[in-house]
Chains A and B, each alone.
Chain A
Amino acid sequence: DAGITQSPRHKVTETGTPVTLRCHQTENHRYMYWYRQDPGHGLRLIHYSYGVKDTDKGEVSDGYSVSRSKTEDFLLTLESATSSQTSVYFCAISETGQYNEQFFGPGTRLTVL
C-alpha cells in the first residue's frame, strides 16, 4: 500500500470555525490531490499540487485553500466551515501526472454542525 496518512480521521466542528486537514505521504511523489466524496456525486477534485508550493484549483474549490511547503505534506483548510462542507475528504498521490493511477489515503470524515 502507498504510504499515505490523513489526520484527523474524524472531526466534528461548528459552522464558522476554521478547520485544517492534513495529508502526509512517505512515497516522495510529486503530485498530491484533495477530493471530497458526497452521495450522488462520486469523488470531486477540490485542489491539487504539482510540486512544492505549486497548487491550483479543482472543480469544487470555493471555501477551501491548500498549502504545500514540503513534498510530503499537503494541507487542506476550510477557512470558515459551513454545513455544506460536511463530507468525506480523501487525499491522493501520484508519481507522475498523466496516464498514471492515483493512490488514495484512508479519508477524513468531517461533520460541520
Chain B
Amino acid sequence: DQQVKQNSPSLSVQEGRISILNCDYTNSMFDYFLWYKKYPAEGPTFLISISSIKDKNEDGRFTVFLNKSAKHLSLHIVPSQPGDSAVYFCAASTTLTGTASKLTFGTGTRLQVTL
C-alpha cells in the first residue's frame, strides 16, 4: 500500500517556465514533508521541507505548498533551469522509537528541463 504517491513518472518543462511536481498521501499521521532531488549514481539531496502546521514554504526558486484537507503537496520551481533535470522524490515523516523519524518516499518524478 503506497502511502505517498507521485502519479506522474515524468515531466518535461522548458527552461525559464514553471515546473510543478505533485504528491499525494494517505496517512493522516504524517507531520512533516520533504522534497529531495536525485541525480543518477548519487544519493538524494534535500531540497525543501514543510511542517504540517503550515501551508507554504519558500526557498529561493523552490516553493512547497501543502493542502492538508486534500492530503496533497506540490513543489514549484520557478524559473526552471537545465540543472534542475533530475528525479524528484516527495517524502513524508512519522516519528519512531527514540524520536527518530521514518521517511516514507514516493516513487519519484523525473523532471527534464529543455532549452
Give 9 nearest A-B pairs by CB, closest first: A50-B98, A42-B105, A104-B43, A97-B99, A101-B46, A43-B105, A50-B100, A97-B100, A42-B107
Contact flags (1/0) for A39-63 with B, using CB distance below 8 Å? 0111111001111001010110000
Say yes or no: A107 contacts B105, CB within 8 Å.
Answer: no
Choose from A42, A45, A59, A107 the contact partner of B41 (Cβ within 8 Å).
Answer: A107
**Chain A: CB-nearest residue to B102:** A45
Which residues of chain B have C-beta atoms less than 8 A from A43's C-beta?
Answer: 44, 89, 91, 103, 105
B-contacting residues, A80-113, CB 8 Å: 90, 92, 94, 96-107
Q: Is B63 an interface residue (CB 8 A)?
A: no
Most buried by A among B46, B51, B100: B100
Contact flags (1/0) for B77-115 with A, using CB distance below 8 Å? 000000000000101010111111111111110000000
**Chain A: CB-nearest residue to B52:** A99
If over half of A's interface residues share one DSSP class (helix, strand or loop), that class is named, otherwise mixed; here it is: strand
Say yes or no: B96 contacts A99, CB within 8 Å.
Answer: no
Rounded to whole angstroms, the CA-CA distance of A48 and B91 in the bound complex is 17
16 CB contacts below 8 A, A to B, read A35-B103, A42-B104, A48-B100, A51-B98, A54-B98, A56-B97, A56-B98, A58-B102, A90-B43, A94-B100, A97-B95, A97-B99, A98-B99, A98-B101, A99-B51, A107-B42
If over half of B's interface residues share one DSSP class (helix, strand or loop), that class is named, otherwise mixed; here it is: strand
Say yes or no: B43 contacts A102, CB within 8 Å.
Answer: no
Q: With A40-B107, A43-B89 given, is the CB distance from A94 to B43 under 8 Å?
A: no
Which residues of chain B have C-beta atoms less than 8 A from A98's C-beta?
Answer: 31-32, 93, 95, 99, 101
Interface size of A by Cβ–Cβ distance < 8 Å? 33
Rounded to whole angstroms, the CA-CA distance of A29 and B100 in the bound complex is 12
Give the interface of B toward A (CB within 8 A). Answer: 4, 31-32, 34, 36, 41-46, 49, 51, 89, 91, 93, 95-108
Which residues of chain A have C-beta atoms less than 8 A from B36's C-beta?
Answer: 104
Q: Is A31 an interface residue (CB 8 A)?
A: yes
Q: With A105-B43, A106-B43 given, is the CB distance from A42 to B108 under 8 Å?
A: yes
Which residues of chain B have C-beta atoms less than 8 A from A44's C-beta?
Answer: 105
